[in-house]
């Protein structure tokens, strides 16, 4: 059963960003990522029952408290619902919430018990899933270019899921169609924001790898590839998040950012992009002009959603409209029954009110405090001569930057409500738990090849 739980957790992390793999079942979509998450939770419970082990780290106990508090807020919001459509949406949202939070709690408990080698395996599997996602996105772009806009989803995914969401056509410039790759996600911006996690979480690990480490070249290639695909999405929100995340990392890694290890691959990327842009200068000038125009109708739409907060707070200030019911409330305005608020924070405030927003803020502060504790423990252990703590401290910094970047990007998108984000939080919260084991003198093996 332990091997089954291992496989399900690693598989769950691997497919966590594959949002196109979904099947409609009645009023809800069954997504592969959530199906595997449920199977892992079941395997975890069976394993604990079999072992008679119900001891959990304090972090998991705190997460359990947050689960109860969020559930109370959402249940109170239910009484603000007045239509069948909004109640159905609320039920759908609550199912997703329960699955995501159950996975979060069980994953943290499992990672803490399995030790450092398994944590690094989990990080690799999560990153490998995004490698597959990014590569599929590049293949879809190449396929569309080679076959005059043909849809790779129709060939690969439609036989499996019954639908082919396809690429997003941004427009036409210089006689060339401009496609925005979305990989295995449903939106180009979603893919870009998801890529922020491995980019920023693994960059400090790469910068701290010792000379001669076999992981250096593969990790450098993966980071460069993630960045290339992020640019191919044409996502302004993700670039904003990346810039802020790099500023966070510039505090502890400012010297490393001036090293050949960082600057040489960056120069290589710059040369690659210069060559590509030179082939279609006018094409890329058009893209740059359009994507930097903040007065466009598309950009103003994103800002306009924040104007919708006031009316909701006037009507239901404390607990909002009810979880996942934004589209039902504003259907009269948008004309669509599945239109989201295009901002995670607009979603939180309108659907769970000021109480829900405050609770979310407390939850995020807690996560940041745990990461801060990890960074302190890692620093103290490194000073004491424990070189194995160095890569974990780097990972703690990386998750800190990735979390900040994701929060910034979610000013205009909603990836923080997706299951992949619970996987990110689970990996992040496991780091301080494993560093605490080192402090107590029971360390596991560090990442192979990682040193001071």
DSSP 126-148: HHHHHHHHHHHHHHHHHHHHHTT
Helix (H) or strand (E) holding 408: helix 389-409
Tokens of 93: 């949202």
Residue 70 has pLDDT above 90, yes or no: yes
222: number of CA atoms within 13 Å, CB side? 25
pLDDT tens sequence across 118-129: 999 999 999 999
Which of 257, 153, 159, 241 shows the shortest CA–CA distance to 206? 257
Q: Computed over its alpha carbons, how large is the radius of gyration of the chain?
A: 22
Residue 9 in contact with residue 38, Cβ under 8 Å?
no
- Total residues belonging to the chain: 452
**CA-to-CA distance for 51 and 46, rounded, in angstroms?**
9
In the block, which residue shows the tokens 């803020």?
361
Element (H, E) at 403: helix 389-409
Residue 180, phi then psi, degrees to nearest 5: -110, 120
pLDDT band at residue 449 under the 50/70/90 scheme: very low
Answer yes or no: are the C-beta atoms of 42 and 49 closer than 8 Å: no
d(C-alpha 189, C-alpha 318), whole Å: 31
pLDDT digits (tens, 9 = 90+) for 272-318: 888 887 776 766 676 677 666 666 555 555 566 677 788 878 888 89
Three-class SS of residue 177? strand
Whole-prediction pTM value?
0.90
Q: pLDDT tens across 358-367, in order?
A: 999 999 999 9
**Locus of tokens 């401009």:** 178
Burial of residue 43, with CB atoms counted within 10 A of its CB: 0-12 exposed, 13-18 middle, 19 or more buried: buried
Q: What six digits make up the tokens of 169?
A: 């056509």
Kindly state the DSSP code that residue 256 receives in the 8-state scheme: G
Q: Could you tell me if 90 and 325 are in contact, meaning their C-beta atoms sit under 8 angstroms apart?
A: yes
User: Which of the four pLDDT bands, split at 50, 70 and 90, describes residue 450?
Assistant: very low
CA–CA separation, 231 and 123 (whole Å): 23
296-237-11 Cα angle (round to 5): 140
Local confidence band at 117 (pLDDT 50, 70, 90 cut-offs): very high
Name the more confident of 353 and 296.
353
Question: What are 206-233's pLDDT values in tens digits?
Answer: 999 988 888 899 999 999 999 999 998 9
pLDDT, position 451? 34
- Give the mean pLDDT of the chain: 87
How many CA atoms, within 13 angstroms, populate the side-chain half-sphere of residue 218?
8
């Amino acid at each position: 059963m332990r091997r089954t739980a291992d496989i399900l957790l690693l598989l769950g992390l691997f497919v966590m960003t594959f949002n196109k793999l979904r099947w409609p079942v009645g009023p809800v979509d069954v997504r592969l990522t959530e199906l595997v998450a449920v199977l892992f939770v079941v395997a975890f419970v069976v394993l604990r029952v079999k072992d008679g082990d119900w001891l959990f780290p304090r972090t998991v106990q705190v997460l359990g408290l947050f689960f109860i508090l969020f559930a109370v807020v959402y249940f109170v919001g239910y009484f603000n619902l007045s239509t069948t459509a909004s109640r159905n949406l609320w039920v759908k949202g609550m199912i997703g919430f329960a699955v995501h939070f159950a996975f979060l709690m069980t994953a943290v408990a499992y990672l803490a018990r399995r030790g450092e080698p398994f944590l690094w395996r989990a990080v690799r599997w999560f990153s490998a899933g995004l490698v597959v996602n990014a590569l599929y996105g590049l293949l879809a772009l190449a396929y569309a270019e080679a076959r005059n806009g043909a849809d790779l989803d129709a060939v690969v995914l439609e036989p499996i899921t019954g639908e082919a969401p396809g690429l997003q056509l941004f427009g036409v410039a210089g006689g060339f169609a401009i496609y925005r790759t979305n990989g295995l996600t449903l939106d180009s911006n979603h893919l870009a924001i998801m890529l922020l996690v491995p980019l920023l979480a693994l960059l400090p690990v790469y910068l701290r790898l010792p000379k001669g480490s076999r992981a250096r070249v593969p990790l450098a290639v993966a980071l460069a590839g993630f960045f290339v695909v992020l640019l191919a999405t044409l996502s302004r929100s993700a670039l904003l998040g990346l810039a802020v995340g790099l500023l966070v990392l510039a505090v502890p890694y400012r010297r490393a950012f001036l090293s050949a290890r960082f600057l040489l691959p960056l120069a290589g990327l710059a040369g690659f992009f210069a060559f590509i842009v030179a082939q279609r200068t006018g094409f890329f000038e058009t893209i740059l002009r359009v994507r930097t125009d903040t007065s466009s109708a598309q950009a103003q739409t994103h800002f306009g959603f924040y104007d919708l907060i006031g009316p909701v707070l006037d009507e239901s200030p404390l607990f909002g409209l009810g979880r996942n019911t934004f589209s039902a409330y504003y259907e009269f305005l948008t004309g669509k029954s599945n239109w989201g608020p295009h901002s995670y924070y607009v979603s939180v405030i309108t659907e769970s009110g000021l109480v829900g927003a405050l609770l979310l803020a407390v939850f995020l502060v807690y996560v940041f405090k745990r990461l801060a504790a990890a960074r302190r423990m890692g620093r103290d252990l490194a000073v004491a001569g424990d070189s194995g703590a160095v890569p974990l401290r780097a990972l703690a910094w990386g998750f800190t930057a990735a979390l900040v970047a994701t929060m910034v990007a979610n000013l205009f998108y909603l990836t923080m409500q997706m299951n992949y984000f619970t996987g990110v939080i689970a990996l992040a919260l496991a780091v301080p738990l494993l560093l605490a084991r080192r402090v107590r003198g029971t360390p596991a093996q560090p990442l192979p090849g990682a040193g001071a």
